[in-house]
């Protein structure tokens, strides 16, 4: 298996590293120990957000969350968006680096720009399955982007 897969967002490649798992809502999860995952935005999500510059958590370390529960807000050059939990579980630790400087998400979303550590037993997607999710929804995403640009 290659080290990473790539999804082409028009002319922009979105890297999908093979060393982690994914959810359809565009988060990656990398297992650090059994049941404990580091969570971050995929390159696809970062490309859609564009230039994150503000992050405000509405939860703290130790919070128990449900999948898609609101956990904060993120602001980028594109919009102010509600941030939701990637999966059901316990948010063990928020990343202090992105709390202090959210631009780390833009610069290194698969490294220093991670969001939080999550203890979960969720069923996650393989890189190939996530690539299929992107391919299946890309036409709809492009139409949404074009609609926003024409407003």
Domains of the chain, residue spans? 4-136
User: Distance of CA 1 to CAs 46, 67, 128, 133, 138, Å?
Assistant: 25, 29, 10, 19, 24
| Cα–Cα dist 143/137, whole Å | 10
What is the model's pTM?
A: 0.89
Contact 117, 93 (CB under 8 A): yes
3.40.50.720, 3.60.15.10, 2.40.50.100, 1.10.1380.10: which CATH number matches 4-136?
Answer: 2.40.50.100
- Tens place of pLDDT for every residue, the chain, 151 residues? 579 888 888 888 899 999 999 999 999 999 999 999 999 999 999 988 888 999 999 999 999 999 999 999 999 988 899 999 999 999 999 999 999 999 999 999 999 999 999 999 999 999 999 999 999 887 676 655 555 444 4
- pLDDT for 151 equals 44
- The distance of Cα 109 from the centroid of its chain, to the nearest Å, equals 8
Q: How many CA atoms lie within 13 A of 14 on its CB side?
A: 23
- pLDDT for 112 equals 96
Q: Taking the CA atoms of the chain, what radius of gyration do you get in angstroms?
A: 15
């Amino acid at each position: 298996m290659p080290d990473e897969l790539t999804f082409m967002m028009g002319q922009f490649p979105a890297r999908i590293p093979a060393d982690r798992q994914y959810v359809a809502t565009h988060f990656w999860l990398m297992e650090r120990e059994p049941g404990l995952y580091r969570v971050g935005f995929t390159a696809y999500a970062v490309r859609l957000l564009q230039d994150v510059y503000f992050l405000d958590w509405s939860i703290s370390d130790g919070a128990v969350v449900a999948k898609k529960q609101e956990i904060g807000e993120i602001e980028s050059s594109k919009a102010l968006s509600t941030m939701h939990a990637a999966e059901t579980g316990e948010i063990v630790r928020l990343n202090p680096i992105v709390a202090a400087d959210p631009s780390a998400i833009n610069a290194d979303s698969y490294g220093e720009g991670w969001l939080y550590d999550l203890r979960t037993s969720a069923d996650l997607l393989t890189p190939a399955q996530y690539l299929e999710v992107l391919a299946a929804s890309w036409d709809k995403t492009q139409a949404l982007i074009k609609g926003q640009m024409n407003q």
